[in-house]
Structure 1
Amino acid sequence: MANAPFNVMIVGQAGRLQYEALLFAASLRHCSPGFAGRLFVAVPQPGPLWDKDPGIRDQDVLQALADQGAEILPFESKVFGAAYPYGNKIEALQVLPEGEPFVFFDTDTLITGELAEVPFDFSRPSASLRVEGTWPKPTLYGPGYAGIWQSLYTRFGLDYLSSLDLSQPDEFWKRYLYFNAGFFYGACPRAFGKRFLVYAQSVRDDPPLELAGQSLEPWLDQIMLPLVIHSFGGGRDALPAGFLDGETSCHYRLFPLLYARESDRVVEVLHEAAAPNRIKKVLKGYEPIKRMVYQGRGEKVRALFDRENLPRREQAIRNRIKSEGFWMR
């Protein structure tokens, strides 16, 4: 059963992200004709926190986005800007329509199925579980995972114990609520974004003592996201598996990695979404798409790997592609 309409937000700006945004929009229109909400491309505006204009100025890109039904949504960077561009996803939520359910996606994502049929419960937010234990990295002298995470829940008055997955062993990273910020969703973008910003700014400016020796760069958004989701009554089990990061979306991250490890369906969607001449003309302005998609380099990368037997570590995949001279980003 399809959801009531909801909005989708991605962040676009000059450079790589504007081309990824166009490809995302094209894949959404191609694969999800039932999507009845609005697609917003949130674009940071020039200001004191940016040393260069981050906006999308390429008129061909802007027209192509408009042709896909995308709406440009300018926003002001008041807290992060160039010093932490991942903060764009936090600050941009403040300009989405208040009280309307939203789904955020990173631009390096393809929609591969009918988004309207994903069984979102917007009253219980969640995010991507396609994640590795990237943070924290407990030091020899402590505290461990529990001490670090508990200090954050305590900081914001949240119930720490109810966030734990007790089927996982103590001091194993999967026991603690942790997401990839490649997608997340909720009932009201402004309420979600306001709390996200308060939490992130608090920890950035005044980290708990337990975080001594822990890097917040580039992990700040992913550290704060589980706390925000938990505070709104969401969690790891709020969305049935198999839809996002599955049949309905693919967070590919970089084009060489897409060709190396993603399914035939993802490659098929990429090529179909990028095929129309009016889109191809614009996407050719970005060298990795031009070479990988239109000039066949991606298929050469794909031939290097057996999708049923990929190297366990991503670095090994990257190294193989680089050794063949096919790496691009």
Structure 2
Amino acid sequence: MADTHIFFVADGERLEIQSWLLAATLAHAHQDRRDVHLYAYASADWLPQIGPVTQAIYRVAGVSLRPLPAPPKWAKPYPHGNKIVAATDWRGPGWSIFLDTYMVCLRDLTTLSALPDDHVAAAPEGRATWGPDERWERAYGHYDLPLPTTRVRLLRGDRPENLPYFNAGLVAMPESPGAGGKRFAAHWLETAVDFDHNCKIANKRPWLDQITLPLAMARFGYKAHVLDESWNYALSYRGSDIALTPDAHILHYHRFRFLAAAPQWPAIRARFFEALPKAHHAAARAVFEQAALLD
């Protein structure tokens, strides 16, 4: 099994606080796995401000804190692009898995590292937030590519079939070089920057990362490994159904109130405080109380 490099962006106070739970749950799901490596990225401006609770949980969880690489020149500011920028950092051979910071991990993710090196793995988006097909035809046409013949089934609502469109909250990518000797992350960033500047098409933001993910795959010969919902299970706006949340690989909660309503939350919270050194419990509890995460 290849090494697995799991990384996230904790740039700013909100993402940093969310990363406490992600770091703790990643460490718990991969305990005693020496082939799993965890990384958090923050900008040079935020790194000196990383707080003591964060430093403590990263230390216990084995998270390496790294500076974000220099961003490209986007057409206009695009914070969502930090995930693609972080992906370009070299962590070592094997596979890298990006995770949104407002996630918790319930199960081992390393089976993704056994995929062929010409695959990229992601789960379909919940809804067709960018489209319609005519717009995708222009997007692929920008690279002289035909529309894909394959379809994915979206994961929310009536779950219609759709052109390949993925939630960029979890993306697993090979670190081995592909076309032109470049890694997939470099191809994704190159595609995103070019599309941002040069494709005259509406409503790129905030979906530029998700638009250019399948475009980068198509441009450089990667196959999409379509993950099922358990790999990126969205908790938002499920109403009373949230009580039926399965023990998925990843819970993607977006807002703390959705996580607090999930049946897994009490165990997640308990394991977090078991891992966190007691000297930091009061500070963490104060934050959780403000976020309505404590009973």
TM class, shorter-chain normalised? 0.7 to 0.9
Q: 1:198 to 1:165 in 2, by over 3 A?
A: same
CA distance in 1, matches of 2:77, 2:128: 24
Which residue in 2 is equivalent to 1:194?
186
**Alignment deviations for residues 228-287 of structure 1 (CA, whole Å, 9 cap, x no partner):** 2344422253x4553443621111111112224x3x135422442244452782684586
The equivalent position to 1:235 in structure 2, one of 224, 236, 250, is 224
Secondary structure of 1:268's counterpart equals: helix
Distance 1:287 1:77 in 2: 34
Give 1:37 shift. 1.7
CA distance in 2, matches of 1:258, 1:287: 17
**2:122 match:** 127
Structure 1 residues 59, 99: closer, same or farther in 2, change over 3 A?
A: same
Q: Which SS does the other structure have where 2:161 is aligned?
A: helix
Question: Alignment identity in percent?
Answer: 20
Q: Secondary structure at the match of 2:70?
A: coil
Judging changes above 3 Å, is the alpha-carbon distance between structure 1 residues 64 and 276 closer, same or farther for their aligned structure 2 residues?
closer
* Counterpart Cα distance in 1 of 2:105 and 2:123: 14
For the Cα contact (< 8 Å) 2:230–2:250, is it kept in 1? no
Q: CA deviation at 1:90?
A: 0.9
Output aligned runs, 1:294-313, within 5 Å: 295-296=294-295
Shift of 1:13: 1.7
> How far apart are 1:182 and its partner, in Å?
0.6
Match of 1:215 in 2: 203
CA distance in 2, matches of 1:220, 1:21: 23
Measured in 2, the distance between the counterparts of 1:117 and 1:196 equals 23
The code of the aligned residue for 2:254 comes to R
For residues 229 and 198 of structure 1, the distance between their equivalents in structure 2, rounded to whole angstroms, comes to: 12
Whole-Å Cα distance in 1 between the matches of residues 63 and 189 of structure 2? 25
Residue 273 of structure 1 corresponds to 272
CA distance in 2, matches of 1:159, 1:113: 37
The amino acid that maps onto 1:278 is P
Q: In structure 2, how many angstroms separate the alpha carbons of the residues matched to 1:216 and 1:294?
A: 34
Structure 1's unaligned 5+ residue stretches are 46-52, 137-144, 167-171, 297-329
Q: Is 1:146 matched with 2:133?
A: yes
Distance change in 2, residues 1:207/1:105 (3 Å) = same
Query: Which residue is 2:26 aligned to?
Result: 28
CA distance in 1, matches of 2:113, 2:104: 18
Q: Per the alignment, do residues 279 and 272 of structure 1 end up closer, same or farther by CA in structure 2, a change over 3 Å counting?
A: same
Cα distance between partner residues in 2 of 1:158 and 1:286: 52
Map residues 57-96 of structure 1 onto 2, 5 A cutoff.
Answer: 57-60=49-52, 61-79=54-72, 83-96=77-90
Whichever residue aligns with residue 255 of structure 2, its letter is L
Q: Deviation digits for residues 174-200 of structure 1, max 9, x if unmatched?
A: 321111111001112861221111111
Task: Choose 278-287 or 63-72, whichever is displaced more.
Answer: 278-287
Q: Is the 8 A contact 1:13 1:56 kept in 2?
A: no
1:322 match = none
- Partner Cα distance (2:280, 2:162) in 1: 47
**1:148–1:268 CA distance, 2 compared to 1 (3 A):** same
Q: How many pairs does the alignment contain? A: 268
